[in-house]
Amino acid sequence: MEACLKGAPSYDAVINLGDVVGYGGSPNEVTDASRKLGGQFVRGNHDKACTGITGIETFNPIAGLAALWTKQTLTPDNLTFLKEMPQGPVNMNGLAKGTDKSEGLGGVQIVHGSPRDEDEYIIVMRDAVEPLANMQVQLTFFGHTHIQGGFCLDNEQWGTLRPVYKGKTGA
């Protein structure tokens, strides 16, 4: 987390798309750092499982064990913070920079999984078609995908957006 923040360009707002905790070995430190950063949060499936909102039945064995360990490791204060994170979708009008809608991110929502189900994966276009076709906002940020990129619908044209990475050269 520290390396990511150090490498990040300057920013106006922080938006956390869920899974503050999960597999990492420092859940209190990461939760504390996330709280200090502030911004808008939406809960993730690991946040729910690590706080007891849901069980670990749908998790793979490693994720399930990590969730159980994290639940035992979290401080009461951090456990409460994670438990109280809002379920998506969260409309970003007036939330990112202030309470005035003109200062917010109108037409934007954040979710963990999809606008329909906070635990649903959207990985390929087939997964994105129905949520895109029924969205009431211009833009949705989601974090549960495990694959960086996005999907778009422009008039009748569907598109998949994937970043192109240039590898490091030299020694």
Residues 78-108 have pLDDT tens digits of: 999 999 999 999 998 765 444 443 356 778 9
> Which pLDDT value is given to residue 135?
84
pTM of the model: 0.84
Give the three-class secondary structure for 91.
Answer: strand
Tens of pLDDT, residues 34-86: 999 989 999 999 999 999 999 999 999 999 999 999 999 999 999 999 999 99
> Which pLDDT value is given to residue 83?
97
Query: Are 95 and 152 part of one and the same domain?
Result: yes
Tokens representing 109?
């929502």
Q: How confident is the model at residue 148 (pLDDT cuts 50, 70, 90)?
A: confident
* Last-in-domain residue among 83, 113, 144: 83
Query: Are 152 and 124 part of one and the same domain?
Result: yes
DSSP H or E segment with residue 133: helix 125-133
- Measured CA to CA, the distance from residue 81 to residue 142 in angstroms comes to 21
Residue 140 bridge partners (DSSP): 109
Structural domain contains residue 170: no
- Cβ within 8 Å of residue 125, ≥6 positions away: 151, 158, 160
Better-predicted residue by pLDDT, 82 or 6: 82
Tokens representing 154?
């422009």
**C-alpha 162: how far from chain center:** 18
Query: Are 78 and 107 part of one and the same domain?
Result: no
* Last-in-domain residue among 31, 64, 83: 83
- Measured CA to CA, the distance from residue 78 to residue 31 in angstroms comes to 7
Residue 58's region, left for phi above 0, alpha for psi from -120 to 50, else beta, is alpha
**C-alpha 117: how far from chain center:** 13
- Residue 132, domain extent: 90-161
Structural domain contains residue 171: no
**DSSP percent split of the chain into helix, strand, coil, nearest 5:** 35, 15, 55
Structural domain contains residue 167: no
Query: Are 6 and 79 part of one and the same domain?
Result: yes
Number of domains in the chain: 2
